[in-house]
Amino acid sequence: MHYADTTTNDNGTVTAFCYCGWSAVHDTQESADAAAEYHQNDDADDYAAA
């Protein structure tokens, strides 16, 4: 299982990230939350490897 979280950047974007090294920058908190949830729960190993 992966444990993803989010952080708001100084420029207003939001980064979703995980201890495994995965990260993705998003324009909104909602989209970053969705990416973090997907990474944690839905085939996270396949998503991280892509």
15-40: average pLDDT: 95
pLDDT at residue 45 greater than cutoff 80: no
> In a 10 Å sphere around its CB, with 0-12 CB exposed, 13-18 middle and 19+ buried, how is residue 14 labelled?
buried
Region 38-50: mean pLDDT is 66
Contact 16, 32 (CB under 8 A): yes
If pLDDT is split at 50, 70 and 90, which confidence band does 34 have?
A: very high
pLDDT digits (tens, 9 = 90+) for 3-18: 899 999 999 999 999 9
Overall pTM > 0.85: no
Chain-centroid distance, C-alpha 26: 9
